[in-house]
Each structure stands twice: as C-alpha cells, then as structure tokens.
Structure 1
Amino acid sequence: MLYKFKSRATADLIMLEANGRQVLEIMGKPPEAHGIVTVEQIPAAIAALEAAAAEDAARRAAAGADEADEAEEDTNSSGAKDGVSLGRRVAPLVEMLRRSAAEGRDVTW
C-alpha cells in the first residue's frame, strides 16, 4: 500500500506504507487508508515531525560515535544500516504542511 498525501496548496506526495505509517504515528494520526490534517492541526504536526527528526539525528550521532571506534574492524560493511534519516524522509511532508498552512488548506491522504 502507498500513502498519497494531498493538498490544494502543493503537488501530491507519495510514501511507501512503512514510511507513511511512521509519519502518521508521529503526527498522532491513525495509520488508516484515509485521513486529514486540518489547518488547525498543522502546527502541532510540524512540531511533532521536527522533534522526531531531531531525536533521530541525535540517536544517529550517538550511534555514529560508537561505531567510529569499531570502523576498522568491519571494512567490508555495505553501509546499508545507515539508510535515510528521518529528517530527510519527512522534509517534503513538512514543506507540504507549511505551504498548506500558509494557504489555509488541509492535507489529506
């Protein structure tokens, strides 16, 4: 399943199910097939997403410091565990929410 976020203020934003479910849970929304973030709810949603992204960045930085000590032990690592940070993953949605708030438009999925 894909989540397709829509707003009359921006182009559509499509996320894979796991990522869409994660951002909906962060915003305090049920991960259902359809839903809405009203204009009144947008500031809280943005704050929740930014706080989660900052927490993820701090956790990655701490893990990176721990792994720096072990880097020489595993030189054949593919780096797949690094993945995409939550901050990068939610950035398009945060921008959509900001633009939607500025134009007084709800965001649906």
Structure 2
Amino acid sequence: MTDEQITRMLERYKKGLEIKKQQYHDVKKHDPEFVARNRERARLHYENNKEKKKQNYEKNKERNKLLNLFNYYKKKDMLDKLQDKYPEKYKQLQDMGKIES
C-alpha cells in the first residue's frame, strides 16, 4: 500500500468516527429505547462484575493508600517529612518510580 492509500484510509476512518459520534449526540442519546437498553446493559455488567471490582480493590488497596499518602505530602511540599516519618513507604515509592533517588 502506498502512503496515499494509507492516508485516505485514515481519513475515512476518522470521518466515520466523527459521523458515529455526531449520530450518537444527535439521535441515539435522546432515544428512550436506546437509553433503556443501555441502562439495562450497564446494570447487568455491574451485577456480573461486582466480585471482580471488589478483588481489584483489595489487590490495589495498599498501593492506593501509599499513593494517597505520597500525594498528601507532595501537595504540602513536605516529602522530607514523609521520608523521616515513613522510611519503608518512602522506599516503596522509590521502587515504584514516584520518587527519584
């Protein structure tokens, strides 16, 4: 395929996305049947994946607590106090790449 053909294909793809987006915002979003089907699909997805969401939360709980602690001290511009108060957590943040050594 030539560069011209690739460019045309990409332009058609982008134009198709724009048309679908415009159709959604102009037509589908205001259609009560579509809204009802979409809500039903979302409700079923929520019910079927509750356990996955819970497992993901439990798996990342410690990481999220650590990042919240880091963001708090970073926002207050007190990373040196974080290092003094929580040396193990500071080391974990360095290992994650949040803090440069």
Normalising by structure 2, report the TM-score.
Answer: 0.31
Normalising by structure 1, report the TM-score.
Answer: 0.29
Structure with larger RCO (C-alpha < 8 A, sep 6+): 1
Q: Which of these two proteins has the greater Rg computed from alpha carbons?
A: 2
Normalized per residue, the structure richer in strand is: 1
Normalized per residue, the structure richer in helix is: 2
